[in-house]
């Protein structure tokens, strides 16, 4: 004790020995008052919560500096985990409700739980404005999201650390007094419908629903979870139901504190976070809701096992999936995890594995296996295979080999040495687990918190470490073999080549057939023999042994790597970890091979080379992946990008094996044929992705140099590529080519180890010549460029969707602000615009106008140009979407030039600053940051810090000048590139949609801000009687803006609506000059190449041994 203060505060006072006794007395008094307030707060909280696990008892990773407290609120039974992260610059919270779409069955409205998730955010009694929550988060560098699963609905947000309490207060009200606004109902039903339509052509959703639709009718697994306009509106209305009333019943029945789990992460101490959890969430009502229980009902009935579903996919794929029902005991057997033993063996990719054997027969490209809890009382173990065409023809033989491997496992006694390897890696992975982002942490933990409550199997002290294997049980593993048999599985086979698919699934329209497994197939798998080609894996030599951390965390970490080697063939960068204190590392290298991208054929062959090298290395790399190491090789631009990362102990060994394979690689004809077919298949399938996932590729293919379309590449693979040509290309590239290699070595290595790695890599490539001895000439050949559009010009590039049945189109509206990335002030202006416009853009175009489920805006950087974009995916035509984007930008200018207050501008600047200076959470993020700077050619390691310096000095007047000069649609200072990815099935706009959009457009253009819930109801009630609608809308305006003339408003509204009905898309849309890809690239100029922001000599590493110690 010191001066009446406990040792914690006494230690604090010891930092002030030089102060006088009087000053120390004052400091002691201040700290005493702080201690008093904290103890006072604790006294106020006494009896209001129960601690289930405290920081001292919770098993944590070695370097976890967060503190935890797991509590239960006495007032309503809500479980909460509070997490103090003293270093965080982002706070977050999540609330998981243990109810999901399986509860729809009781209410007979598919999609009801999902609809509740949507409508819940539309205002609360305390905060009635529907975008109050999102605006608060947006202004403080935050965001929110939610998802609905089978048995859970999960809500979460992230915000700058100083604004957690305000965000929590708003967040809590959704679970206390949500409005479920009447008028928002129809709009959110349409939003759910739009979300569902987004997934209609997605094979993952289609096959998941097909499995559900063919399951036990008595189990809610059989239902349709997303919902659509018919299930949430048309059908309930036909039954005389008001879906909002049913929703209120659903909410009041299930949204109970007793089945909610809350996680809060902030920089405040545990007592403060605990007090906020109690103060904000004690009023969440407790009802009689319980966690889901299906009274022993299984998702499949006995007669639904040993069956086969054949289905037609949207994409050109051939897949096989086996699903075994296994005991739902993953929580009860959390110490032993017997299902994991089988997942590990079935999914193994090393020699003797099922995958390696099937690949040797050219029947399978990929195989994965894993167990999963479907719902309470039901778990499955699934094996999924990506078949080749030959594998599809021999699917019954593939099935036999799967059961041969299962028989091998069942006949052998469980291997304790193998289990020990799995246990060892589970301990290592947990011990050295790195921090994840705040939002990800709280969302995941809230979803699993129920597993650690008082009545759960897993003790709450293991809330962070339940993934660790604890005990070997040969008995429990053996028991599982009884479930992995020929009578306890379902088979799904999918391919466009399958015939006799005479049924259509109700919700997605998937063509399929359903039958009992043919007798000859059933007999074949029931009487399999042994297969000499299949055997257990060998011991893993990549499991790390040395976890020594070479350097402690520094108070002043290095802000860039050092250039420790530069010559005519190599540039080697190095940074020793001085922030994260983990025994991990990363080595990234770009092997520049000129010629790989000079033609479409070379580009395709280079991609194929990367795929074949990856295929060749599969056995080695898979063992490495089990030991916490990862590897990737990709063809990018003019070379091959190779990355290895993970525990640093064996990382250099892995890299040398990989590079040795690269330089000595010789293609094999059988693997060439298989991988060529797979690559062509993947490229074709890219055209069947959801439109918003495709449009970015169309944009970058247009604006970047030496890029080729997927169609060009497919044609080459199908008509021009053969094994002889490919072999010549590989031989020329890897034997006769000149090279340049950029390398980054980062992590738990000292400089001597980094130089050793550098020496060994250079030795491997010593036979190769240099691209050029001149640095300038070398860089001119290596650095890639982009095309730019002259200021004032608008370019239109149109692409038709390949998927004839996809009703969604997509537009990317790109405003090119600068033809280079060297003007940092323009970059900061563009980023600031993105921060200010994000919420209004989403609110207007998605929430109010309901153009589509996917609406996005933000900065877009190409290789060498800077711009701002708006992206929308919608059922409406891209011409109409362009019109709405242009209108939005014109109307938004009124906000920027008139309503953006000085205080608001300062808040947005601060939000951007917080985002720019957001702390790196783990080594991987730092590696990505530094490699991005190197690979770009700018070497701007301090980019974000420089941006913040510029941001601090930007005035509102300067920002307004930027906006009016570059962003307004008629700007002559910026170019525009508009990508139209158009569906072949664009439905016409009906009158209700036109009227709805017209009224919202009128209000937005006129700068009238009305409550959407009231307005939308007026429109819905009067859209077919315009003479009644106009005075209703005018009356709402006058009520909020008394100085307006109601009569004049009526006339203007009526005139606007009639004009829009006559011509929904004004003349002049789509705008701009239409260009094909070839015409664009032959017409417009390219930018210059990237130039380093500083001379590279600035980053040279120390030469002496003494100085190197500081690296």
Please, are residues 1019 and 848 in contact by the beta-carbon 8 Å criterion? no
Q: Around Cβ 725, how many Cβ atoms within 10 Å?
A: 12
SS3 801: coil
Torsion of CA 478, 479, 483, 487, to 10 degrees: 80
Place of tokens 């957690």: 164
Q: Are strands 809-818 and 1073-1074 parallel, antiparallel or unpaired?
A: unpaired
CA distance 1037 to 1044: 8
Q: Around Cβ 87, how many Cβ atoms within 10 Å?
A: 11
Residue 628 CA, chain-centre distance (Å), reads: 22
Residue 117 falls in the annotated catalytic set = yes
Q: Are strands 90-97 and 854-861 parallel, antiparallel or unpaired?
A: unpaired
CA nearest neighbour of 522 among 555, 551, 469, 485: 485
Give one word for 638, left, alpha or beta, with left for phi > 0 and alpha for psi -120 to 50. alpha
CA distance 667 to 611: 11
CA distance 596 to 603: 5
Peptide bond into 54 cis (omega under 30): no
CA geometry: angle 896, 897, 903, nearest 5 deg: 65
Please, are residues 149 and 205 in contact by the beta-carbon 8 Å criterion? no
Joined tokens for residue 546: 């040395």
Residue 1100 pairs in a beta bridge with: 563
Please, are residues 178 and 1008 in contact by the beta-carbon 8 Å criterion? no
Residue 460 has what DSSP assignment? G
SS3 286: coil
Please, are residues 275 and 91 in contact by the beta-carbon 8 Å criterion? no
Residues contacting residue 287 through CB under 8 Å, at least 6 positions apart: 252, 253, 254, 255, 256, 257, 258
Residues contacting residue 1067 through CB under 8 Å, at least 6 positions apart: none
Residue 976 pairs in a beta bridge with: 794, 815
The length of the chain in residues reads 1111
CA distance 588 to 596: 19
Q: Is 481 exposed, middle or buried (0-12, 13-18, 19+ CB in 10 A)?
A: middle
CA distance 162 to 264: 14
Q: Are strands 738-747 and 570-576 parallel, antiparallel or unpaired?
A: parallel
SS3 844: helix
Number of H helices, E strands in the chain: 41, 27
Q: Looking at 399-535, which runs of residues are DSSP E strands? A: 489-494, 503-504, 511-516
Question: Which helix (H) or strand (E) element contains residue 1004?
Answer: helix 991-1006
The catalytically annotated residue of 25, 117, 165, 568 is 117
CA distance 677 to 387: 11
CA distance 766 to 764: 6
Please, are residues 811 and 878 in contact by the beta-carbon 8 Å criterion? yes
User: For the packed helices 338-346 and 416-431, what is the interaxial angle rounded to 10 degrees?
Assistant: 100
CA distance 996 to 1056: 12
SS3 988: coil
Q: Looking at 99-214, which runs of residues are DSSP E strands? A: 143-148, 153-160
Which residues are marked as active site? Answer: 117
């Amino acid at each position: 004790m010191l001066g009446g203060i406990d040792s914690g505060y006494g230690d604090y006072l010891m930092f002030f020995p030089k102060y006088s006794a009087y000053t120390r007395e004052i400091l002691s008094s201040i700290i005493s008052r702080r201690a008093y307030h904290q103890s006072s707060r604790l006294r106020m909280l006494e009896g209001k919560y129960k601690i289930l696990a405290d920081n001292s008892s919770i098993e944590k990773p070695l370097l976890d500096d967060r503190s935890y407290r797991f509590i239960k609120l006495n007032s309503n039974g809500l479980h909460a985990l509070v997490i103090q992260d003293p270093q965080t610059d982002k706070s977050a919270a999540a609330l998981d409700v243990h109810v999901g779409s399986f509860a729809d069955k009781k209410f007979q409205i598919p999609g009801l739980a999902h609809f509740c998730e949507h409508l819940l955010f539309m205002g609360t009694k305390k905060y009635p404005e529907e975008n109050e929550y999102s605006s608060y988060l947006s202004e403080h560098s935050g965001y929110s999201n939610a998802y609905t699963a089978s048995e859970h609905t999960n809500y979460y947000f992230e915000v700058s650390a100083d604004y957690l309490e305000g965000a929590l207060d708003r967040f809590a009200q959704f679970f206390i007094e949500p409005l479920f606004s009447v008028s928002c109902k129809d709009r959110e039903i349409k939003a759910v419908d739009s979300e569902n339509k987004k997934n209609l052509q997605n094979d993952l959703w289609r096959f998941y629903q097909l499995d559900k639709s063919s399951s036990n009718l008595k189990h809610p697994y059989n239902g349709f979870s997303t919902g659509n306009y018919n299930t949430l509106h048309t059908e309930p209305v036909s039954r005389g139901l008001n879906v909002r009333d049913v929703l209120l019943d659903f909410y009041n029945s299930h949204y109970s504190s007793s089945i909610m789990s809350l996680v809060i992460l902030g920089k405040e101490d545990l007592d403060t976070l605990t007090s906020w959890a109690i103060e904000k969430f004690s009023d969440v009502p407790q009802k009689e809701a319980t966690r889901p229980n299906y009274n022993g009902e299984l998702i499949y009935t006995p007669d639904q096992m040993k069956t086969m579903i054949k289905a037609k996919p949207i994409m050109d794929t051939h897949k096989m999936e086996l699903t075994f029902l296994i005991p739902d005991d993953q929580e009860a057997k959390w110490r032993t995890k017997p299902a994991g033993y089988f997942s590990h063996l079935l999914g193994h990719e090393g020699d003797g594995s099922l995958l390696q054997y099937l690949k040797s027969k050219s029947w399978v490209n990929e195989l994965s296996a894993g167990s999963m809890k479907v719902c309470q009382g039901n778990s499955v173990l699934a094996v999924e295979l990506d078949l080749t065409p030959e594998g599809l023809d021999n699917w019954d033989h593939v099935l036999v080999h799967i059961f041969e491997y299962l028989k091998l496992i069942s006949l052998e006694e469980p291997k304790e040495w193998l289990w020990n390897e799995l246990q060892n890696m589970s301990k290592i992975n947990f011990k050295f687990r790195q921090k994840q982002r705040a939002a990800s942490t709280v969302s995941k933990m809230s979803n699993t918190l129920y597993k650690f409550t008082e009545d759960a199997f897993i003790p709450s002290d293991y809330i962070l470490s339940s993934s660790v294997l604890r005990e070997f049980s040969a008995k429990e593993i053996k028991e599982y073999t009884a479930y992995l048999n020929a009578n306890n599985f379902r088979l799904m086979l999918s391919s466009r080549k399958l015939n006799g698919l005479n049924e259509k699934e109700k919700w997605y329209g998937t063509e399929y057939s359903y039958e009992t497994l043919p007798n000859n197939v059933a007999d074949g798998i029931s009487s399999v023999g042994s297969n000499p080609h299949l055997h257990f894996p060998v011991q893993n030599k990549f499991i790390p042994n040395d976890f020594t951390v070479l350097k402690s965390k520094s108070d002043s970490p290095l802000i860039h790597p050092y250039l420790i080697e530069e010559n005519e063939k190599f540039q080697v960068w190095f940074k020793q970890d001085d922030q994260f204190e983990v025994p991990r590392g990363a080595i990234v290298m770009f092997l520049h091979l000129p010629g790989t991208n000079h033609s479409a054929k070379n580009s395709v062959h280079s991609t194929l080379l990367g795929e074949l090298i990856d295929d060749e290395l599969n056995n080695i790399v898979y063992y490495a992946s089990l030991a916490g190491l990862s590897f990737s090789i990709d063809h990018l631009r003019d070379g091959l990008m190779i990355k290895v990362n993970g525990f640093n102990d064996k990382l250099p060994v892995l890299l040398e094996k990989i590079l040795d394979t690269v330089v000595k690689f010789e293609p094999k004809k059988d693997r060439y044929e298989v991988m060529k077919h797979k690559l062509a298949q993947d490229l074709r399938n890219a055209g069947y992705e959801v439109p918003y996932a495709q449009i970015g590729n169309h944009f970058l293919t247009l604006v970047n140099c030496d890029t080729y379309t997927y169609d060009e590449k497919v044609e080459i693979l199908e008509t021009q590529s053969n094994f002889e040509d490919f072999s010549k290309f590989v031989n020329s590239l890897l034997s006769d080519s000149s090279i340049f290699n950029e390398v980054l070595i980062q992590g738990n290595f000292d400089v001597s180890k980094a130089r050793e790695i550098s020496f060994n890599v250079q030795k491997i490539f010593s036979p190769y010549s240099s691209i050029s001895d001149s640095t300038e000439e070398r860089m001119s050949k290596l650095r890639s460029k982009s095309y730019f559009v002259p200021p004032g010009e608008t370019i239109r590039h149109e692409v038709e969707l390949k998927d004839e049945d996809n009703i969604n189109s997509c537009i990317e509206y790109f405003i090119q602000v600068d033809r280079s990335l060297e003007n940092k002030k323009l970059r900061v202006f563009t980023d600031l615009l993105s921060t200010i416009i994000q919420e209004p853009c989403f609110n207007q175009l998605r929430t109010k106008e309901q153009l589509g489920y996917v609406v996005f805006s933000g900065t877009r950087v190409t290789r060498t140009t800077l711009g701002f974009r708006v992206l929308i995916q919608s059922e409406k035509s891209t011409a109409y979407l362009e019109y709405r984007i242009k209108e939005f930008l014109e109307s938004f200018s009124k906000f920027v030039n008139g309503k953006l207050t000085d205080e608001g501008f300062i808040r947005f600047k601060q939000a951007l600053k917080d985002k720019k200076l957001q702390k790196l959470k783990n080594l991987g993020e730092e590696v990505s940051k530094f490699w991005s700077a190197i690979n770009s050619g700018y070497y701007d390691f301090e980019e974000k810090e420089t941006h913040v310096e510029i941001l601090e000095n930007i005035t509102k007047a300067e920002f307004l000048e930027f906006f009016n000069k570059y962003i307004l649609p008629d700007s002559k200072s910026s170019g525009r590139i508009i990508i139209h990815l158009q569906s072949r099935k664009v439905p016409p706009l009906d009158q209700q949609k036109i009227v709805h959009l017209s009224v919202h457009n009128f209000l937005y253009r006129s700068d009238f801000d009305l409550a959407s819930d009231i307005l939308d109801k007026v429109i819905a009630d009067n859209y077919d009687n315009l003479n009644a609608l106009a005075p209703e809308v005018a009356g709402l305006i006058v009520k909020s803006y008394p100085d307006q003339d109601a009569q004049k408003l009526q006339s203007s509204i009526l005139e606007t609506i009639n004009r829009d009905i006559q011509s929904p898309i004004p003349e002049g849309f789509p705008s701009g000059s239409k260009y094909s890809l070839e015409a664009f690239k032959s017409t417009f100029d390219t930018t210059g190449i990237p130039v380093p922001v500083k001379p590279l000599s600035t980053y040279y590493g120390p030469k002496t041994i003494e100085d190197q110690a500081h690296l």
